[in-house]
């Protein structure tokens, strides 16, 4: 499967990655190579095999519903670019 530069730019936007048009040409080639390999895998006959969500044959361990202190804000807020009133501050987002 071949990937064009437009697809590269779209995926880059979704992942919030800055990709220049020069880079996108090279990336299109490399991503196409990767997908070609996936195509090869996809050609294997797996009709009789259940989809695999996880490679380990174990199920999810569960945790008891008991609260533990989790007040880290005096330690994490100073790491943020901006904070006020106990909140992280970010450029205004409104919908």
42 binds other proteins (CB under 8 A): no
41 binds other proteins (CB under 8 A): no
Q: 84 pairs with which residues across the strands?
A: 87
Polymer length of the chain: 95
Nearer to other proteins, 16 or 20 (CB): 16
DSSP state of 69: -
68 binds other proteins (CB under 8 A): yes
Separation between Cα atoms, residue 80 and residue 37, nearest integer Å: 41
Q: 83 pairs with which residues across the strands?
A: 88
Among 40, 48, 59, 78, binds other proteins (CB under 8 A): 59
Residue given tokens 């064009």 in the structure block: 4
Nearer to other proteins, 13 or 30 (CB): 13
Asked whether the beta carbons of 27 and 43 are under 8 A apart, the reply is no
The minimum distance between CB 85 and other proteins, in angstroms, equals 7
- Binding region for other proteins (CB under 8 A): 10, 13-14, 16, 53-54, 56, 58-68, 70-73, 76-77, 82, 84-95
């Amino acid at each position: 499967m071949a990937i064009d530069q437009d697809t590269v730019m779209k995926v880059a936007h979704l992942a919030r990655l800055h990709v220049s048009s020069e880079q996108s040409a090279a990336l299109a080639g490399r991503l196409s190579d990767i997908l070609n390999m996936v195509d090869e895998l996809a050609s294997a006959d797996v009709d009789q095999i259940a989809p695999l969500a996880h490679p380990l044959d174990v199920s999810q361990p569960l945790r008891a519903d008991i609260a533990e202190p989790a007040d880290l804000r005096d330690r994490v807020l100073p790491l943020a670019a901006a904070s006020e009133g106990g909140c992280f501050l970010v450029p205004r987002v409104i919908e």
